[in-house]
């Protein structure tokens, strides 16, 4: 009798166990497929993100190279122009303050104007563009311009015909001239020519 009662229960238990195992297997299979699909999707998205990041990094690196390449080119251009204007200022100022004069040369007044113009153009260009030059070099160029400008302008004052004829002009012109010539030949200005 107990066997008759247990037999249908055992069969039911086996069927329930089989159905449970089958349901579990189906659910695990579905979850496994979804998990694999999700895993593959994450890997694709991750690879896509990595490629986008690499692309952005390459773009930033290229942009950086272009910007600093242009900055380097601009620096070279500015340095070349400053050197050119400095050479012109030294040349015209040396010609102006030189004690030697040759026949057919412009007058001292004309040379004073040319020197003043060259010094002014150098100073103005330098002030506009010194941001492209390192601070120590900028200070050196500033000092050099001042060493050219100050004695040349002091001597130019005495080349003015009205001042030159005055007692003050006659008394101080030679001293200003010597000072200007010494500044152009006995200071670090000649070294700037090299």
DSSP 130-145: GGGS-HHHHHHHHHHH
Q: State residue 189's pLDDT score.
A: 65
Q: Which residue has the tokens 């690879």?
A: 47
Name all domains of the chain by residue range, CATH numbers in brackets: 67-192 (1.20.120)
Measure the CA–CA gap between 192 and 194, rounded to whole angstroms: 5
Q: State residue 192's pLDDT score.
A: 58
Q: Which residue has the tokens 């692309």?
A: 55
Q: Is residue 189 a contact partner of residue 98, using CB atoms and an 8 Å limit?
A: no
Q: State residue 190's pLDDT score.
A: 59
Phi, psi (deg, nearest 5) at residue 131:
-65, -25
Q: Which residues of the chain have pLDDT under 50?
A: none
The distance in angstroms from the start CA to the end CA of the chain is 125
pTM over 0.85: no
């Amino acid at each position: 009798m107990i066997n008759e009662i247990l037999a249908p229960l055992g069969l039911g238990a086996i069927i329930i166990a089989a159905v449970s195992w089958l349901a579990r297997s189906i659910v695990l299979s579905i979850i496994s497929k979804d998990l694999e699909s999700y895993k593959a999707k994450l890997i694709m998205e991750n690879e896509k993100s990595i490629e986008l990041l690499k692309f952005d990094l390459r773009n930033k690196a290229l942009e950086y190279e272009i910007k600093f390449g242009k900055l380097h080119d601009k620096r070279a251009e500015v340095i070349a122009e400053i050197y050119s204007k400095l050479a012109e200022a030294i040349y015209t100022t040396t010609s102006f303050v030189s004690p030697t004069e040759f026949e057919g040369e412009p007058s001292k007044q004309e040379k004073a104007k040319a020197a003043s113009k060259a010094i002014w153009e150098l100073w103005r260009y330098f002030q506009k563009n010194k941001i492209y030059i390192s601070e120590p070099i900028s200070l050196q160029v500033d000092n050099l311009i001042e060493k050219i400008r100050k004695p040349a302008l002091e001597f130019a004052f005495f080349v003015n015909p009205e001042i030159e004829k005055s007692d003050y002009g006659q008394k101080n012109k030679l001293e200003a001239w010597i000072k200007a010539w010494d500044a152009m030949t006995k200071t670090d200005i000649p070294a700037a020519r090299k």
